[in-house]
Amino acid sequence: MSRGQFPATRMRRNRMKAFSRRMFAETRLSVDDLIWPLFVIEGDDRSEAVTAMPGVMRHSIDRLVSAAGEAVRLNIPAIAIFPSIDASLKDNDGTLARDGDNLVCRAVRAVKAAHPGLGVICDVALDPFTDHGHDGILVEGEIVNDATVAVLCEQAVHQAHAGCDIIAPSDMMDGR
């Protein structure tokens, strides 16, 4: 018998044996808790490595649809689509984000056509579409918050119309 004084002595009764660890566990993770992030690029039948993330690939839409099919087979409930936009298509204002036929929207439509039961999540942010990499429109080196919010709203509406199930804003603009 231990005669130590709490908190100096902790018996750890709830963690001592496997059965009690299972009974008292607070968090359980399963495939139902997973979201598979997928990266999309222009082109056909293309995949390229993301060098900063070993084992992760960017896929053209046709291959993205195949990867989404793998998510369905693995019973992963949702994917999150992130675009890799060609530098020649980027500008200061992230204009392409306002196009309902941009890479993300086309990818969403293709995935939903092939796998209608799979959840699709889209990031609302301008950084993939701007030539400076910020989530906001820059004027004289300053982010113009309200103009940026208007563009982000358009982007979100286009993603929703394309079939996106969850709009996930990551831009951190005020008032959106």
pLDDT in tens, 72-125: 999 999 999 999 999 999 999 999 999 999 999 999 999 999 999 999 999 999
- Could you read off the pLDDT of 6-39 as tens digits, one per residue? 566 666 777 778 888 888 888 888 999 999 999 9
Q: Please give the pLDDT value at position 12.
A: 75
- Could you read off the pLDDT of 131-142 as tens digits, one per residue? 999 999 999 999
Q: Please give the pLDDT value at position 21.
A: 82
Residue 104 vs residue 2, higher pLDDT: 104
57/51 Cα distance (integer angstroms): 9
31/75 Cα distance (integer angstroms): 7
CB 166 within 8 A of CB 78: yes
Amino acid at the residue 99: D
**pLDDT grade for 4, boundaries at 50, 70 and 90:** low
- Asked if pLDDT for residue 40 goes beyond 60, the answer is yes
Q: Please give the pLDDT value at position 8.
A: 63
Overall CATH class of domain 30-169: alpha beta
Q: Please give the pLDDT value at position 84.
A: 98
Pairing of strands 119-124, 166-169: parallel
Domain spans in the chain, listed from the N-terminal domain onward:
30-169
> What are the tokens at 15?
């963690």
59/49 Cα distance (integer angstroms): 9
Closest-CA residue to 163 (of 134, 122, 135, 130):
122
> What are the tokens at 105?
């929207």
